[in-house]
Chains A and B, each alone.
Chain A
């Protein structure tokens, strides 16, 4: 009895050795990736323990954890006695959610327009032009927006030339919020429309031919064939974007904003950055905000994925 067990165990180890030997090339190939993800993704995950400490860089994470453990104090601090944080959280949700909706609608509209355009050459040129801004950095866009919307900018000059009054786009919170949304559309709508265009190209032409025979108008064909045809892709992209609600676009806001509009457009990521690296508050608090953000995003992705599956769509997890 015992002998067979040992023999079995040996052959199990033998099999394992054989398996490893067989895939040694692939294992060797994957080692850099394992090391990379371990160092740059998993060590920071261990680093979230900083959120439960008053962190001292000299002591390191473990030292801070053993000597300056504060439990959930950092969290109760940000939620109970930091009104700025709550405002920032509200801004983040508003901007993140607004961006998802606006970019969702705008990219589909652009795709429908380009898809229905019947001038081949203009279509190609237009596509090249409207997809290009995606490849600019927000640094460059900050320069553009300054040149357009500052007090000496051309938009205000046009308004004055038309008999209006100068508007301080860059220091008025509401205008600035509109600017955040519209610059996002300017930069990304053309590029995001490509996925939908590709999906539209995959819709069976027979459906359109059948609709033609039934005497459908172009609008009806769009409504009853094209839109249902891109629905799975649209749902998938929506689910993917929900996880990013609380990210709301650090690059954009960080490059565009100024102290006058912090009240309206400061988001979690910019707040963490300023608190930790400019105001020099304890890094434990910044970590706590970051951990809160990661956890909420994770839960959101899981929940939305479940809901989508319940509704009969393809999920992502």
Chain B
């Protein structure tokens, strides 16, 4: 168990270097602990505050001078979120993006990364340069917008999937990982009579499962949080992903800051909707953190 964990975890320092274990736990340690504790509290507080608002009644929200803990507890906000058809529709679209979008992105990003990791082949440098140029120069939003319109992707669900096929950063991550696996694997498989496809599918892919998980998770989070393409290119409210539905609710309460009468949603409802979108992530994150960390560490050290 211990060994397996060590394999997955990147080498993060569990013990600070240079402080021998038996050194006394002194004032500096307490100072560091307190600073970090305050930082952790500052990170948690917005979640806590949103939660308090979501389970307090609207009148308690407006009438209490200071709402630091739940008052007049009610689950009405959650009930209306769960009966809000726009949220469920949004969730449906987001699930489509999450499942099909992630699979699609992973497929194209991984095969590109694999090809770029192989030794010299005809056209490799040309393709590599073609890709790297796009990291430093782009056409900008407006030409992109008209391209999407010309391609006929406007106001379809495809616009939130197709343009994401390859993420250059994740592609380079995969490339670096494939390139770090020993070359002898390919040579010996070839001697055993394996062809190119078999070498990729049966030798390299199984060995890169942890990295596939990392990249897949980055894509999954991106799809779960996706709103930008939807906002730009989707008008049909049946096609709006969850985050976009949420965005419109939040925009409606923040625009009512100046004129509270024009409000359509209560604060409690919006906070409950926020939890609707982040609770799945909060549940999975503690168990998946090591994969995300692995991605950023591998990317930083080898990229």
Q: Which residues of chain A are within 8 angstroms of B225 by Cβ–Cβ distance?
A: 135-137, 139
Q: Looking across the interface, which residue of chain B has its beta carbon closest to that of A182?
A: B42
B53 pairs with A50, CB closer than 8 A? no
Most chain A C-beta atoms within 10 Å of own C-beta, residue among B66, B111, B141, B267 = B141
A44 pairs with B53, CB closer than 8 A? no
Q: Which of B42, B53, B232, B254 contacts A170 (CB 8 A)?
A: B254
Q: Which of A136, A197, A260 contacts B278 (CB 8 A)?
A: A136
A200 pairs with B140, CB closer than 8 A? no
Within 8 A of B (CB), among A1-42: 16, 19-20, 22-23, 25-27, 29-30, 32-34, 36-37, 39-42
Q: Which residues of chain B are within 8 angstroms of A29 by Cβ–Cβ distance?
A: 111-112, 114-115
Query: Given known contacts A128-B286, A132-B285, A201-B12, is B18 in contact with A48 (CB within 8 Å)?
Result: no
Kindly state whether residue B206 has any CB partner on chain A within 8 Å: no
B18 pairs with A221, CB closer than 8 A? yes
A131 pairs with B134, CB closer than 8 A? no
Query: Given known contacts A32-B108, A46-B139, A286-B141, is B43 in contact with A140 (CB within 8 Å)?
Result: no
Q: Which residues of chain A are within 8 angstroms of B17 by Cβ–Cβ distance?
A: 115, 200-201, 203, 205, 208, 226
Q: Which residues of chain B are within 8 angstroms of A131 by Cβ–Cβ distance?
A: 289, 292-293
B146 pairs with A57, CB closer than 8 A? yes
Kindly state whether residue A63 has any CB partner on chain B within 8 Å: no
Kindly state whether residue B1 has any CB partner on chain A within 8 Å: no
Q: Looking across the interface, which residue of chain A has its beta carbon closest to that of B111?
A: A29
CB pairs A–B below 8 angstroms (14 shown): A23-B121, A32-B111, A40-B165, A44-B139, A46-B139, A117-B16, A118-B16, A139-B243, A144-B274, A146-B257, A186-B42, A201-B11, A201-B13, A202-B301
Task: List chain A positions with a Cβ less than 8 A from chain B.
Answer: 16, 19-20, 22-23, 25-27, 29-30, 32-34, 36-37, 39-48, 50, 57, 60-61, 110, 113-120, 122-123, 125-133, 135-137, 139-140, 142-148, 150-152, 154, 157-158, 160-161, 170-171, 186, 190-191, 194-195, 197-203, 205, 207-209, 211-212, 218, 221, 225-226, 233, 243, 251, 255, 258, 260, 269, 272-273, 276-277, 283, 286-287, 289-291, 293-294, 297-298, 301
Task: List chain B positions with a Cβ less than 8 A from chain A.
Answer: 10-20, 25, 28-29, 32-33, 35-36, 39-40, 42-44, 46-47, 49-50, 53, 61-62, 65-68, 108, 111-112, 114-116, 118, 121-124, 127, 130-131, 134, 136-147, 149-151, 163, 165-166, 171, 195-197, 221, 225, 227-228, 232, 243-244, 246-247, 250, 253-255, 257-258, 267, 270-271, 274, 277-278, 281-282, 285-286, 289, 292-293, 296-297, 300-301
